[in-house]
Copies of this chain bind each other. A is one copy, B any other.
Amino acid sequence: MSAPLADQLDIVIPTIRNLDFLEEWRPFFQPYHLIIVQDGDPTKKIHVPEGFDYELYNRNDIERILGDKAWAISFKDSACRCFGFMVSKKKYIYTIDDDCFVAKDPSGKPINVLEQHIKNLLTPSTPFFFNTLYDPYREGADFVRGYPFSLREGIPTATSHGLWMNIPDYDAPTQARMDEWDCLQTCWGPHAFPHSIPARQHMVKPRERNQRYVDAVMTVPKGTLYPMCGMNLAFDRDLIGAAMYFGLMGEGQPIGRYDDMWAGWCTKVICDHLGVGCKTGLPYVWHSKASNPFVNLRKEYKGIFWQEEIIPFFQNLTLSKTSTNVEQCYLELAELVRKGLGHIDPYFSKLADGMVAWIEGWRLLNPPAASA
């Protein structure tokens, strides 16, 4: 089994339970080092299958290591995974949810997610012009006629966003059953949802499973945002790690299930500014179970409204030319968030503080000398 860059990549897994799901991943993950971020009760003992090389951090560890900055790491939410990004010393990170298993390609072959993510990260991105045959660096493909030669070198790739067979990553209104929708409407009232949520009959898809294997990787074009999901995600820590903060979610926060979205918006505008790329597509994981739409809706509820303002904010913001590295960009972005989104809810001012605390924590654990 090929294990590319085994000494340069950490696998980060946030969890609240025993990691039996690793048994299925053993042939692929065993050569790598794991960073397990234990969420919830720190006295609970998490069982990790034999033979894996790992370090595990629980809430007490996070408090001990980050001290007065620990509050910026979410509690009781998988957003806590970003602590693993911060504490890693490797160049590359792969992060996966513990309800994701090995998917198979159309020929029935188990998919080596790390091999594909690393291919994605080690080949350039092409955000300035769309290649109609998708990833031009892939074997059997190239740039098509009319693709400018000056853009064929591409730019370095910062993130590789993988997809999911079986349970797709839908929001609560889309994943709910029809009777659940009726119940939601009753509980939350007729004006509970934004007008822009279409009629429920077009949305309720509780039985929908993703069975389409799209054999493609592509660069998300410059200036275009995408919904980055944290379930199956790889990135280059040197290029974008300091912006891969998953925000304030979970306990004590008015919002959940927007941790990866937040990181996706922030990293995309910073990647565009710094001239590095974001890819999406292959590889697939097999996502085993849909979470409860009622619970999800409670978490997502404010986010569904807020994103209607947050996304135009990110679409229209410009970082200054003096921000020339990720940390500078992220600190500038924190202040833009405070000024530009604070009117929506006091939460955004706290989030801006969290973004600053995140960078302080990042610098604490990744001092310039060590990373130079």
**Could you list which residues of chain A lie within 8 angstroms of chain B, going by C-beta atoms?**
106, 129-134, 140-150, 152-153, 161, 163, 168-171, 174, 194, 196-198, 203, 205, 208-216, 220-229, 257-258, 260-261, 264, 280, 300, 304, 307-308, 311
Contacts and interface: CB of A to CB of B under 8 A. Distances in A.
A302 to B, nearest CB: 14
A8 to B, nearest CB: 25
Given A134-B214, A141-B212, A144-B227, A311 B168 contact: no
21 contacts: A106-B106, A130-B220, A130-B227, A132-B226, A132-B229, A140-B211, A140-B212, A142-B203, A142-B205, A144-B171, A145-B169, A145-B257, A146-B260, A146-B261, A147-B171, A147-B227, A148-B308, A149-B196, A152-B196, A213-B215, A222-B223
Contacts of A169: 132, 144-145
Contacts of A216: 214, 216
A38 to B, nearest CB: 25
A32 to B, nearest CB: 25
Interface residues of A: mostly helix, strand, loop or mixed? Answer: loop
Contacts of A209: 140
Given A152-B196, A221-B221, A223-B224, A208 B140 contact: yes
Nearest to A198: B152
A169 to B, nearest CB: 5
A133 B164 CA distance: 9
Give the number of copies in the complex. 2
Contact of A307 (B146, B226, B260): B146
Nearest to A149: B196
Contact of A129 (B143, B215, B224): B224
A311 B130 CA distance: 12
Top 3 closest pairs, chain A to chain B, by CB: A146-B227, A130-B226, A221-B224
Contacts of A212: 140-141, 215
A129 B208 contact: no
A135 to B, nearest CB: 10
Contacts of A147: 171, 227
B130 A163 contact: no
B145 A229 contact: yes
Q: Which one of A144, A174, A260, A311 has the greatest number of beta carbons of chain B within 10 Å?
A: A144
Contacts of A198: 149, 152-153
